[in-house]
Structure 1
């Protein structure tokens, strides 16, 4: 049965070894930072206070505790405007200690991909994200079914092996 708790912050704070995140959408819900970017505003990476957030702090804390945090993104090419922006702001994730890779969707045709984006913590709990067609977040499920977790971890690892490290991925 799905559960609405604990929160993402709780799950990350409780992680001891690993946290992996798979993203497979080309567009997510809009947010003020994306809208500002669309209007020409760019992040001043030298002004850390302007972009460092509690999320980045939580990632950095987890990494400092020895948790390996990895994010893989499966993207269509040419990329959407949203993915172009996301690639730019991933600098913050990497600075926080996340390892990030990108897999062009055309290179994933022979992989069985999970149906939804997710986080898996320590291979024991999965947080599944459900989105509407336009990318609005609908709900999250937190599940501990070992079979589901195994499928998610296996899918993530196959993607991770094939994906391109962030610093080597060129937006097309």
Structure 2
């Protein structure tokens, strides 16, 4: 049985850090659909793209909190990943969010089968579920007793990842 808290509650109440693991190659049905279509059409980034998220991140970071994520991916990048990395990550970095890439092109995925999740302050976990088309289905906040498993997943991801900017300079757009 999950917690009575929602993912939104966890975002509102975390005190030190929020970590996200991303495992999918396509989240195109889960938000920023218009921006993704503009990207595919070769248009410019829409005005105000991701502004609410950047503002939220900036507010947390200005309070000394850390928001960071690892994306597990392999090359060549899907069109969606090219969009997410070149528009999304580079925009969100303006608010102080940190990104890391765990590239499985030339190494096995050490977290095969692990679902997307947010981990807050090493105590609270929200698992994110999507369908095969990348449509967000639900977020399930797990009992705090399950946090240790997700701390281990985070640490494994970080151990095998590299900072986004280093990875992007080497592989971006390829």
Contact 2:36 2:83 in 1 (8 A): yes
Deviations 1:131-169 (A, max 9, x none): 0011111111011232x3211121111211221211111
Alignment of 1:1-172 (within 5 A): 1-3=1-3, 5-8=5-8, 10-30=9-29, 31-43=33-45, 50-89=48-87, 90-106=89-105, 109=108, 111-113=110-112, 115-146=114-145, 148-169=146-167, 170-171=171-172, 172=174
Q: TM-score, normalised by structure 2?
A: 0.86
- Which segment drifts farther, 131-140 or 114-123? 114-123
Displacement of 1:108 in angstroms is: 5.0
Deviations 1:15-35 (A, max 9, x none): 111100000101113311111
Cα distance in 2, alignment partners of residues 121 and 52 from structure 1 = 22
- How many residues are treated as equivalent by the alignment? 166
Deviations 1:58-106 (A, max 9, x none): 1111111111111100012111000001111211211111110111123
Contact 2:2 2:140 in 1 (8 A): yes
Aligned residue for 2:26, secondary structure, equals coil
Cα distance in 2, alignment partners of residues 160 and 78 from structure 1 = 21
Displacement of 1:122 in angstroms is: 0.6
Contact 1:108 1:159 in 2 (8 A): no
The CA RMSD over aligned residues, in Å, is 2.0
Distance 1:105 1:38, change over 3 A: same
Q: TM-score, normalised by structure 1?
A: 0.87
Contact 1:29 1:137 in 2 (8 A): no
Cα distance in 2, alignment partners of residues 149 and 99 from structure 1 = 21
Cα distance in 2, alignment partners of residues 21 and 162 from structure 1 = 15
- Which segment drifts farther, 109-118 or 28-37? 109-118
Structure 2 gap segments, 5+ residues each = none
Distance 1:24 1:112, change over 3 A: closer
Structure 1 gap segments, 5+ residues each = none
